[in-house]
Amino acid sequence: MLEIKNLHAEVDGNEILRGIDLTVRPGEVHAIMGPNGSGKSTLSYVLAGKEEYEVTEGSVFYNGVDWAELGAHERAAAGMFLAFQYPIEIPGVATMTFLKTALNAQRKARGEDEISTPDFMKLVREKSRELKVTPDMLKRPLNVGFSGGEKKRAEILQMSLLEPTLCVLDETDSGLDIDALRVVSDGVNQLRSPERSMIVITHYQRLLDHIIPDVVHVLSKGKIVKTGGKELALDLEKNGYADYVDEEAA
């Protein structure tokens, strides 16, 4: 279970998150929506442990572990996964090599044996078929020259391979056409399980037609200003964020 209490965070001295309270139980999918600049991506970076983002107040606990005690790679080994809005290019490192290195790094951190190459190959083949990731893509350097759709599919492939229990998807729908959106959403839906918590960050409601959330939050100026069921997303689609932004300003 993820428990965020009164979370304040800043980057370069600017306060972006101004007191977030959020609890996500295993099996739940929470959507976080909000206008540009509301702090959505900052929340995802703070959860993943990016260094420049400093927590100034409040706390994050996951399964009883104080997230402040763990570096980014330790959080990953403890079950955290961030699907990046803009996945980073790693030149010269084949996607396959990256996947194997990441998987083994996490297994090592948890005191497990490294996966054997045949087992790994089998696993990757299986998972990549579902996400329409071609063998050619696996040979190419990670994210280098990938199209927007390929990058997002590669992110979800990593997620499905690493089997995290806490998934944060940052604007996974950005840069996707409708077919790619369906492939990616199907991939995410397959990972929904009673043990897994998910936070889906998005600007638009259309992603939530494919990934149906249990709870929807509206983030504005670093705070959650409204929480509701999946119908809240439809309401936002119709009326825009203006109501909530103004409410906050008032």
Separation between Cα atoms, residue 41 and residue 53, nearest integer Å = 11
Which range of residues in 7-15, 16-24, 91-99, 220-228 is near another protein by CB under 8 A? 91-99
Selected from 34, 39, 49, 187, the binder of another protein by CB under 8 A is 49
Selected from 98, 120, 132, 223, the binder of another protein by CB under 8 A is 98
- Using rule CB under 8 A, residue 10 touches another protein: no
Q: Which is nearer to another protein, 38 or 106 (CB)?
A: 106
- Going by C-alpha positions, the residue among 6, 55, 46 that lies closest to residue 170 is 46
User: Smallest gap, in angstroms, from Cβ of residue 224 to another protein?
Assistant: 24
Selected from 13, 36, 51, 136, the binder of another protein by CB under 8 A is 51
Separation between Cα atoms, residue 116 and residue 128, nearest integer Å = 18
Separation between Cα atoms, residue 244 and residue 144, nearest integer Å = 39
Dihedrals φ, ψ of 223, to 5°? -135, 150
Q: Is 3 helix (H, G, I), strand (E, B) or coil?
A: strand
Q: Which is nearer to another protein, 131 or 216 (CB)?
A: 131
Selected from 52, 69, 195, 231, the binder of another protein by CB under 8 A is 52
One-character DSSP codes across 22-78 = EEE-TT-EEEEE--TTSSHHHHHHHHHT-TTEEEEEEEEEETTEEGGGS-HHHHHHT
Interface with another protein: number of residues (CB under 8 A): 33
Cβ-based burial of 117 (10 A; exposed 0-12, middle 13-18, buried ≥19): exposed
Site for another protein in 63-82 (CB under 8 A): 71-73, 75-77, 80-82
Site for another protein in 160-199 (CB under 8 A): 162
Selected from 56, 59, 101, 147, the binder of another protein by CB under 8 A is 101
Interaction site with another protein (CB under 8 A): 48-52, 71-73, 75-77, 80-82, 84, 87-93, 97-98, 101-103, 105-106, 109, 141, 158, 162
